[in-house]
């Protein structure tokens, strides 16, 4: 356990405040840890995944005797020490060669984990193509029906989304989107394996650079790294249900945001082809009966009020007759 320190100067106070929980969270820091043995493949894969994750990535250059599925205490310690909430642990053993474990933390405790085995790896350097700028936001593409239905793959999607997708943005400069991380599934393996859930389809993780021509057509070019992954052990987030419940809590929407239309579907507001915001306003039924127009003699009175009118008329008639004289 770390000591709780009381800040002694303004700088350390600011640093501590930056670590405090916030309503709207920033990007998640990821730590890349090597296990007791990592082969060349795992090393390179981690290096290139880190290149994609930069600048929100921390590399642990030394080997560490860490086994996330047996004991996650060191991960929890590192998470607290480095203010990180994602881990990629590389480990290669005889039983599970070329393994990468994605770990997601909540409040410095392990929320869920997913181990994948690297079955094929093509480095970034294998493609002599332009690479994306570090720190640019990738587009994400998930292809495969199981991402919606199978809990293991739904978890993988959620993990990768947390890893690459980062915090939700309010706005983005679209021409600055340079690359896409595409995660696709191989066709489902034979049916006998599918029902017991041990044999899951292979996952292809590809990264491409995106270029768009004038007409808005997108063209992709391979950027690397290319990874073919096989799903292995995992800890579902439901295993830590109490943590998950806390992690899924959303802040209450502020009154101002509700008025702006955030959080709720904006109704009767649309953007036309020119990019202008157009709103439709609904008016109630118009009641012209109660309308007060200019008082005119011709409008005044109807046939029913003839009695009154005659009384009023009389003096004027007299006047007129006099003038006529």
Partner 1 sequence: MDVSEILASHEARQKLNVVEKEIPLVIDAGYLTVTDLNPVDKESYEEDTEAYLLATARDGVQALFSTLSALPTVPSPYGPLTQLPPPTTELPRAKPLPKPKPPTKWEQFAKAKGIQKKRKDRKVWDEEKQEWVNRWGWGGKNKEGEGAWLSEVKQGAEVDHDPAQELRNSRKARVAKNERQQLQNLARAQGSSSQAPEREERKKDIDRTLATTRISTASMGRFDRQLEGEKKLKGVKRKFEPNERSIEEEKKNSLAIISKLENESKRAKKEKSGGDEVLNVRKAIRSASGGKGSAALTRNSSKPKGKKGKR
Asked if residues 166 and 54 have their Cβ atoms less than 8 Å apart, the reply is no
The pair of structure tokens assigned to 46 is 């981690």
Considering beta carbons, is residue 13 or 318 the nearer one to partner 1?
13
Q: How big is the site for partner 1, counted in residues (CB under 8 A)?
A: 69
* CB neighbours of residue 28 within 10 Å: 18
Stretch of 22-30, 51-59, 64-72, 123-131 lying at the interface with partner 1 (CB under 8 A)? 22-30
Answer for which of 5, 10, 191, 277 binds partner 1 (CB under 8 A) is 277
d(CA 169, CA 175): 16
> Could you tell me which residues come within 8 angstroms of residue 167 by beta carbon, excluding any fewer than 6 positions away?
24, 25, 26, 27, 28
Stretch of 46-54, 125-133, 186-194, 297-305 lying at the interface with partner 1 (CB under 8 A)? 186-194
Work out whether 247 is an interface residue with partner 1 (CB under 8 A): yes
Report CA Rg, the chain: 34
Smallest Cα–Cα separation from 111: which of 226, 232, 244?
Answer: 244
Work out whether 23 is an interface residue with partner 1 (CB under 8 A): yes
Stretch of 6-14, 92-100, 168-176, 292-300 lying at the interface with partner 1 (CB under 8 A)? 168-176
Answer for which of 17, 25, 71, 313 binds partner 1 (CB under 8 A) is 25
Answer for which of 53, 98, 157, 234 binds partner 1 (CB under 8 A) is 157
Applying the rule CB under 8 A, the residues between 73 and 92 that interact with partner 1 are 85
Work out whether 206 is an interface residue with partner 1 (CB under 8 A): yes
Stretch of 3-11, 38-46, 203-211, 294-302 lying at the interface with partner 1 (CB under 8 A)? 203-211
> Could you tell me which residues come within 8 angstroms of residue 309 by beta carbon, excluding any fewer than 6 positions away?
301
Q: Which residue has the tokens 């044999």?
A: 199
* Residue 129 Cβ vs partner 1, minimum distance, rounded to whole Å: 13
Answer for which of 5, 248, 283, 288 binds partner 1 (CB under 8 A) is 248
Burial of 223 (0-12, 13-18, 19+ CB in 10 A): buried
d(CA 84, CA 287): 64
d(CA 243, CA 112): 10
* Residue 11 Cβ vs partner 1, minimum distance, rounded to whole Å: 22
* Residue 98 Cβ vs partner 1, minimum distance, rounded to whole Å: 20
Q: How many residues in total does the chain contain?
A: 325
The vertex-234 CA angle with 228 and 240, nearest 5°, equals 145
Considering beta carbons, is residue 39 or 154 the nearer one to partner 1?
154
Smallest Cα–Cα separation from 225: which of 179, 172, 283?
Answer: 179
Considering beta carbons, is residue 220 or 309 the nearer one to partner 1?
220
The residues binding partner 1 (CB under 8 A) are 20-23, 25, 28, 85, 104-107, 111, 137-145, 147-148, 157-158, 161-162, 165, 168-175, 177, 180, 182, 184-188, 204, 206, 208, 210, 212, 215-220, 222, 237, 244, 246-251, 262-263, 271, 275, 277
């Amino acid at each position: 356990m770390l000591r709780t320190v009381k800040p002694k100067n303004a700088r350390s106070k600011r640093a501590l405040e930056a670590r405090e929980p916030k309503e709207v969270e920033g990007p998640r820091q990821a730590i890349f840890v090597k296990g007791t043995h990592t082969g060349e493949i795992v090393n390179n894969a981690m290096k290139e995944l880190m290149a994609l994750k930069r600048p929100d990535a921390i590399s642990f250059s030394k080997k560490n005797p860490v086994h996330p599925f047996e004991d996650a205490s060191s991960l929890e310690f590192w998470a607290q020490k480095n203010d990180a909430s994602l881990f990629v642990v590389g480990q290669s053993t005889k039983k599970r060669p070329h393994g990468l474990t994605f770990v997601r933390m909540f409040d410095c405790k392990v929320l869920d984990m997913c181990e994948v085995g690297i079955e094929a790896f093509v480095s970034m350097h294998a493609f002599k193509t332009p690479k994306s700028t570090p720190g640019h936001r990738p587009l994400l593409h998930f292809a495969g029906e199981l991402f919606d239905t199978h809990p293991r793959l739904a978890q993988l999607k959620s993990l990768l989304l947390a890893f690459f997708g980062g915090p939700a943005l309010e706005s983005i400069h679209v021409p600055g989107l340079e690359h896409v991380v595409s995660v696709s599934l191989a066709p489902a393996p034979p049916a006998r394996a599918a029902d017991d859930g041990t044999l899951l389809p292979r996952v292809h993780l590809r990264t491409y650079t995106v270029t768009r021509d004038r007409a808005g057509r997108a063209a992709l070019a391979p950027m690397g790294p290319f990874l073919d992954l096989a799903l292995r052990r995992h800890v579902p987030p439901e295993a830590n249900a109490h943590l998950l419940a806390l992690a899924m809590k959303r802040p209450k929407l502020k009154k101002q945001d509700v008025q702006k239309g955030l959080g709720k579907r904006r109704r009767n507001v649309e953007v036309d082809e020119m990019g202008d915001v157009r709103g439709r306003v609904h008016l109630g039924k118009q009641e012209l009966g109660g309308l007060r127009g200019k008082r005119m003699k011709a409008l005044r009175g109807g046939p029913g009020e003839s009695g009154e009118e005659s009384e009023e008329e009389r003096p004027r008639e007299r006047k007129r007759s006099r003038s006529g004289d």
